[in-house]
Amino acid sequence: MYPLDIDGQTRTSSKDAGADERITGTVSNRPLDSMDVGPAWLGGPPDPDAPPALANLALNKPVTVSSAPQPENPATGAVDGDVNTRWSASVYPQWLEVDLGAVYDISRTEVVCLNDRAYQFTIQSKTTSGGSYTQIVNRSSNTTAGSAASPITDNFGPVAARYVRITVTGAADYTGTWASIAELRVFGESGSSMLMAAKLPEATGHEAKEVALQVYPNPISGGAATVKYSLPNAEKVQITAYNMNGQTQTVFNGRQDAGNIPCAGRSSRSPPAFTSCGCRPGGRKSRCGW
């Protein structure tokens, strides 16, 4: 009925991962505690009533634009986190679209303009590449300057979005034809409310004791998660990811060669969905470096 556990024994339930053979204490189902989920919880569990942490989800994400930018001011200048670099294109209207990489609930945008200009723009979003846009910000009559110290900021109810497009249509205080945006920031829940732990089974008397395990970032955020570990020798390995609700997903369960093992997953799924684990470039088994 159930696949074999890590010891190669028949599992008696979906929750039987072989722990009873691995530790001497009583094994029972229980809520996760700080020892399960690593350093991120050592100060205590998150406050469930705390407002969600917002992160700039546009930072260093892929961008597309309406026309060729000024060569020295490429599209990436709008999302590189540096207020001294910019995206510039001429003439109006010009748009720039950032792909957040996954659907997030976004609730604020900030726009920093070259020379503190009062650019006029709209911001639209959609959840799929083929979907239709929803306008979430209308600054088409804007007269507010957008400086590094005081960006043009709009807060709105959470909007599910993956693709966020700013269309610059003019400026209130600048008569040139260049759309020059130093930073477009898109804030939303980064996924930091989802905590993940990956555990190796407690080994009894052999090399797995030496396994080094990293989960990065933890809590996972930004849509992607990576688990890395080293195996000094070929081993049976079982890695399970947990989210804060205790939901699990088996990242890997099987035999792996010695070496450094990366696992890639998506934190935007709940529980996190891991799509690859191991290092087999070109389809060949091989060790890999980090």
Question: Is 181 or 196 the residue whose CB approaches Ca ion more closely?
Answer: 181
Q: Cα separation of 62 and 219, whole Å?
A: 23
Q: Cα separation of 98 and 101, whole Å?
A: 9
Min dist. Cβ of residue 280 to Ca ion (A): 38
Q: Cα separation of 13 and 15, whole Å?
A: 5
Question: Is 151 or 219 the residue whose CB approaches Ca ion more closely?
Answer: 151
Q: Cα separation of 197 and 187, whole Å?
A: 25
3-state secondary structure 246-274: CCEEEEEEEEECCEEEEEEEECCCCCCEE
Q: How far apart are the first and last CA of the chain?
A: 38
Question: Is 96 or 161 the residue whose CB approaches Ca ion more closely?
Answer: 96
Min dist. Cβ of residue 184 to Ca ion (A): 9
Min dist. Cβ of residue 171 to Ca ion (A): 18
Question: Is 40 or 96 the residue whose CB approaches Ca ion more closely?
Answer: 96
Q: Which residue minimizes CB distance to Ca ion?
A: 85
Min dist. Cβ of residue 217 to Ca ion (A): 23
Min dist. Cβ of residue 162 to Ca ion (A): 21
Min dist. Cβ of residue 145 to Ca ion (A): 17
Q: Cα separation of 184 and 58, whole Å?
A: 7
Question: Is 110 or 189 the residue whose CB approaches Ca ion more closely?
Answer: 110
Residues lying near Ca ion in the complex (CB under 5 A): 77, 80, 82, 85, 182-183
Q: Which residue has the tokens 């726009």?
A: 111
Question: Is 87 or 104 the residue whose CB approaches Ca ion more closely?
Answer: 87
- Write the burial class of residue 43 (CB in 10 Å: 0-12 exposed, 13-18 middle, 19+ buried): exposed
- Whether the link from the prior residue into 91 is cis, omega within 30° of 0, is yes
